[in-house]
Structure 1
Amino acid sequence: MIVAYAKETGSTALVTGVYYGEVVLPEDGNYIEGAFELPQQGDLPNLDPVLKIDLSTTILYYDYVSRDSVFAQLGDLQKKLTEAEGINKRLAEESNANQLALMELHMLVLSVVSPDEG
């Protein structure tokens, strides 16, 4: 089994994938290969399980986060996404305006320079 993870703080990491058998993994990821035991997932009210690994012991475990905090994070991320989309649209418009200005400048330069000079 191969466990892919995103390092957090200290020796704790968030598990981003669990792979069995022969797989091709990106070179830039963090992986540990071994005979891991997947823990049993508890059913706790209003809590969502998050699979983690202790890198010092290579033990997989579930951490539980409040659904309220997950929904709050989701709301924050949606707000940031909306803001980023607005910025992206503005930058695309500016890029188009810059390209048009460069084309006009190019046409102006071509009209000033005689064919023998250029």
Structure 2
Amino acid sequence: MKYGVLFLLFLVAGCTNLTLRDEAPHYSWVAKRGLDRSTACVAGALDDAFRQSSPIDRPIVHRVSTIEKGQIYVVRPELDRVWGQLYKVRLMMLTDRETVIDLYALPAWMNPVKAALRRCL
């Protein structure tokens, strides 16, 4: 039953064209640490939060993609290929000691991802 509900949720999301675009992020913060440390923190926090339990009852691991080396990275779940884009976190270097953390997420994932990122902000 749970998988049927999730399937319908994603089917409706696909039909209404819910996608995560790089326009305005849903949330944005400035972390008081460098880009590399912030990226490691975000990837680790998301892995820790969703490795044991997740809203889809399956462990989620994350990968870091380089958009612009030393300037912009994106952390997203490995499930993107199967489930579509559920959420992503973009990190951009502001200064050597400050990083902008932008969250893009579907509504059902917003609160769990925000809670996981809390330790990195």
TM-score (norm: length of structure 1): 0.23
Q: Which has the higher contact order (CA 8 A, sep 6+)?
A: 2
